[in-house]
Structure 1
């Protein structure tokens, strides 16, 4: 017997991340700065300094990083990218994608997000026995 689940395709997603090394030269042991862009948040840039706080900024952060290239240098093989699709099944978002570094594939990414309903009237069947 074949059962068809009500899974719907919602979007294609792309996430890329760049790694930069903080230091005067690449021979120094420095801290990494991770910069991420995501197609789900097209106007935002996310940055994370190693063992530090997360920064959410607009796309002008990329322009600022070019001006700070004396302090931050790109690490070798510094770009990772995840391309895939996003599906919705009831209260769950399921994101499946392939991870590449440069031109070579590195793995598969599976992300499941639980997004419960925020309207109590729509959840009444879940709250009553």
Structure 2
């Protein structure tokens, strides 16, 4: 078999692989776009839920504040994963949703809150004054 007679088969296989790669790429892009839309929708309510608990004085409030502060300024408030273990399941899901949303959001998460910078500064002051 000559090189010329094999070329159409090679070209066809390459075209098929290219088509499959493009289809896979478009499917992944569609999934990412859908996931981002879901995160934006669920993230807002999860964020508000964490802030609501963080504003209280309960055993879980401090952990919610620390998670929110880690998202707000991770250099000053590193994310301490053990804090997730101190939260009930609903708050754990909310925290993980907010953490994921923060990785993809077009703005800083505190900007999605009314007067969010002031809220975070208040949490900052509360946590600076408390023990670890």
Normalised to the residue count of structure 1, the TM-score between the two structures is 0.23
Structure possessing the higher radius of gyration over alpha carbons: 2
Q: Which has the higher helix share?
A: 2
Q: Which has the higher strand share?
A: 1
Normalised to the residue count of structure 2, the TM-score between the two structures is 0.23
